[in-house]
Amino acid sequence: MLDAIKTAYDALHNMRELGGPVVGWIFCACVLMWAIVIERFWYFSRVLPHEAAGLLQEWNARVDKLSWASRHIRMAMISRLNAGMSANVQVLRVLVPMCPLLGLLGTVSGMLGVFDSMAARGSADARSMATGVSEAMICTLSGLAVSITGLYPVYYFRRKVRMETEMLADKFSY
pTM: 0.85
The pLDDT assigned to 41 comes to 96
pLDDT score, position 169: 93
| pLDDT for the residue 145 | 94
Looking at residue 43, its pLDDT comes to 97
Tell me the C-alpha distance between 34 and 13, whole Å. Answer: 19
Q: Given this model, what pLDDT does residue 86 score?
A: 95
Predicted confidence at residue 68, as pLDDT, reads 94
Spell out a b/e string for 109-148, using b for 16 or more CB atoms within 10 Å of the CB, else e.
bbeebbeebeeeeeeeeeebbeebebbbbbbbbbbeebbe
Query: Which pLDDT does position 109 carry in this prediction?
Result: 85
- In tens digits, the chain (174 residues) has pLDDT values of 788 888 877 877 777 777 788 898 999 999 999 999 999 999 999 999 999 999 999 999 999 889 999 999 999 999 999 999 999 999 999 999 999 999 999 888 888 877 877 777 777 777 767 777 888 888 899 999 999 999 999 999 999 999 999 999 999 987
d(Cα 52, Cα 31) in Å, to the nearest integer?
30
Length of the chain measured in residues: 174
Distance of CA 154 to the CA centre of its chain: 7
CA–CA gap between residue 86 and residue 81 (Å, rounded): 9
